[in-house]
Amino acid sequence: MFEEIPTIESILPLKIYNSFYIPSNIKRDIFMMERTVKCPNCGNTITTSGSYGEVVKVICPYCSTKGKVTFGYPISSDESAIEVSNLRKEYGDLVAVNNISFKVKKGEVFAFLGPNGAGKTTTVEMIESIRVPTAGAVKILGNDISSSFDQVKERIGVLPQEFHSFERLTVRETLEFFQKMFKNRASINEIIANLDLKDQENKLYMNLSGGLKQRVGVAISLVNNPEIVFLDEPSTGLDPKARREVWEVIAGLRNKGKTVFLTTHYMEEAEYLADHVAIIHKGNIIAEGSVEELIRKFGEGSILDIKNCKTEDAIDALKQSGFNAKQEDNGDIEVYIEHKERVLEILSILRHEAIDYDAIDIRRSNLEEVFLHLTGAKLSEEDE
C-alpha cells in the first residue's frame, strides 16, 4: 500500500474499505477525486484519481513499484449527532438495557445490531423520547432530551418497528398528513422522487406490497427534512429484493449527509450499510467499531474451502506448514488464513504434495462469526 500524503481531501476522516468490501451493485453517488500518494520504495509522489470506494492500482513511474490506493467514503464530521451515557431500562425485574454508553457521529450510518430481545427497540425509543429511561442521559445534536426534546423533535425522523399507516390514504396523502405535524417541511415531490414512489403516489397504502409500505415508512420519517433518521428494523420480513431496495434508500440518505441510526438483526444489513456498528446482546453493548475493525479484532480472518480432495493428506500437509486446517461436515477442507496473501502458499503446498482438488473458494469472516466469537451463539439462531 502506498503511503498517503496529507491533502485537503485526506484531512476529512475517511472510511477505508478493503477492495472486496464494496458490493459491486451498490448505487453510491459517483464522483471522481484526486489523491496524492508516496511511493514506499523511492519516495516519489504520484497523483491518482478515482471515485469513492474504488481501489486503484498505481505503478510508480520512476521505479515501477506497484501498489494500491483506496478511495474511502468521507464521513462528514467528527461531531456527535447522538450521545448516550449510562442508559438503563428496567421492566420490573428485567434489565432490558444495562447502563450502555455510545456516540453516533454526524453523517454516519450507525447500525445497532443484535438478536431478538437484545434491547434495540427499548434503546432507540428511549433516545426518541418515546420510552422513559430508568437511568442515564441522552443528548441529540447537543440537547439533553430530558429537558429540551422540543428543540430536537423537528430535527429527527422516526420509522418505528412494525410500522403501519392509514389503510385508506394514498401515499401522497399519507406524507401530507404526517408533514402537518412539523414546522420544518421537506418537498414531498422530492421525497417521492428520491424514494422512487412516483408510480405509487396515488395508490392506497393498503394496496402496496410489504417492501413499498416500508419505503413509505422511510418517506414519512423524512417529511420534516430531518438531520437524523431512526429506522427500527426497516427491512425485517421483506423478501431479498425488497430488502435490497430499502438498503439502497438508506445508502441514499447517507449520501445526502443525513445521520442514520439503524437497528437491525441482519448482519448483512450492517455489513452493507454501516460506518459504525454497536453489537447489543442481552442489554449490553458487547463490541463496537467499524465492520472492518470488528472483523479484524474478533473474526477468523479469511476462510479457504478446498473442495473434493484427498482430505487426510491435504490436512496433514497444511498442518505441517502451520495452517489451521480442518474437515467440514460435507468433506471439504476449511483453512483459516489471517492474510489473504497466504492463499498462494496453500496452493503451492497442494501442488508440491500433488494433491488434486475440484475447486477452492475463499470467503472472509463476517459479523456472524464476530457474534459467535463474542457470545458463543449464532446471531441467526438466537433469532429463532
Q: Does residue 235 touch ligand ATP according to CB under 6 A?
A: no
Smallest gap, in angstroms, from Cβ of residue 30 to ligand ATP?
35
Rounded CA-CA distance 72/108 in Å is 13
Identify what 32 binds: ligand ATP, Mg ion, none; CB under 5 to 8 Å per kind. none
Q: What would the x/- binding string for ligand ATP be over residues 254 to 293, using CB under 6 A?
A: -----------x----------------------------
Residue-wise DSSP of 292-344? HHHHHHHS--EEEEEESS-HHHHHHHHHHTT-EEEE-TTS-EEEEESSTTHHH
Task: Kindly tell me the sign of the dihedral angle through the C-alpha atoms of 84, 85, 89, 95.
Answer: positive
Min CB(209)–ligand ATP separation in Å: 22
CB nearer to ligand ATP: give 172 or 213: 213
Q: Which stretch binds Mg ion (CB under 5 A): 93-101, 138-146, 153-161, 196-204?
A: 153-161
Give CA–CA dist 88/226, Å, rounded. 26
By beta-carbon proximity to ligand ATP, the closer residue of 80 and 161 is 161
Q: What are phi and psi of 97, to 5 degrees?
A: -135, 125
- Cα distance between residue 323 and residue 370, in whole Å: 21
- Told to check if 217 binds ligand ATP by CB under 6 A, we report no
Is 222 a residue that touches ligand ATP (CB under 6 A)? no
Q: At what angle do helices 210-220 and 240-255 cross, to 10 degrees?
A: 20
- Cβ 231 vs Cβ 159: under 8 Å: yes
Q: Which residue has the cell 430536537?
A: 152
Residue 91 interface partner, choices Mg ion, ligand ATP, none, CB cut-off 5-8 Å depending on type: ligand ATP
The answer to the question of residue 161 lying near Mg ion (CB under 5 A) is yes
Residue 107 has φ and ψ, to the nearest 5°, of 90, 0
- Cβ-based nearer residue to ligand ATP, 112 or 272: 112
Is residue 53 at the binding interface for ligand ATP, with CB under 6 A as the rule? no
Residue 223: CB atoms within 10 A of its CB come to 23
CA 302 to chain centre: 19
Per rule CB under 6 A, count of chain residues that contact ligand ATP: 13
Comparing CB distances to Mg ion, the nearer of 151 and 380 is 380
CA distance 27 to 254: 12
Show contacts with ligand ATP in window 79-98 (CB under 6 A): 91, 94, 96
Q: Which is nearer to ligand ATP, 117 or 136 (CB)?
A: 117
Q: Which is nearer to ligand ATP, 55 or 95 (CB)?
A: 95
161 near ligand ATP, judged by CB under 6 A: yes
Judged on CB neighbours under 10 Å (0-12, 13-18, 19+), 8 is exposed
d(CA 365, CA 384) in angstroms, rounded, equals 22
Which of 6, 92 has the CB closer to ligand ATP?
Answer: 92
The residue (of 164 and 185) whose beta carbon lies closer to ligand ATP is 164
Residue from 70, 121, 214, 221 touching Mg ion (CB under 5 A): that is 121
Check binding of 131 to Mg ion (CB under 5 A). Answer: no
| Among the residue ranges 113-121, 173-181, 194-202, 271-279, the one whose residues contact ligand ATP (CB under 6 A) | 113-121
3-state secondary structure of 244: helix
Contacts of residues 91-100 at CB distance under 8 Å and 24 or more positions apart, as own/partner, are 95/283, 96/122, 96/283, 97/122, 97/123, 97/126, 97/133, 97/283, 98/282, 98/283, 98/284, 99/135, 99/136, 100/136, 100/280, 100/283, 100/284, 100/285
What is the smallest separation between the CB atom of 91 and ligand ATP, expressed in angstroms?
A: 3
**By CB under 6 A, which span of 111-119, 205-213, 292-300, 315-323 interacts with ligand ATP?**
111-119
Q: What is the smallest separation between the CB atom of 160 and Mg ion, expressed in angstroms?
A: 9
Nearest CA to 229 out of 173, 157, 176, 298 is that of 157
Which one of Mg ion, ligand ATP, none interacts with residue 299, CB within 5 to 8 A by kind?
Answer: none
State the residues that interact with ligand ATP by CB under 6 A: 91, 94, 96, 114, 116-122, 161, 265
Q: Which residues bind Mg ion (CB under 5 A)?
A: 120-121, 161
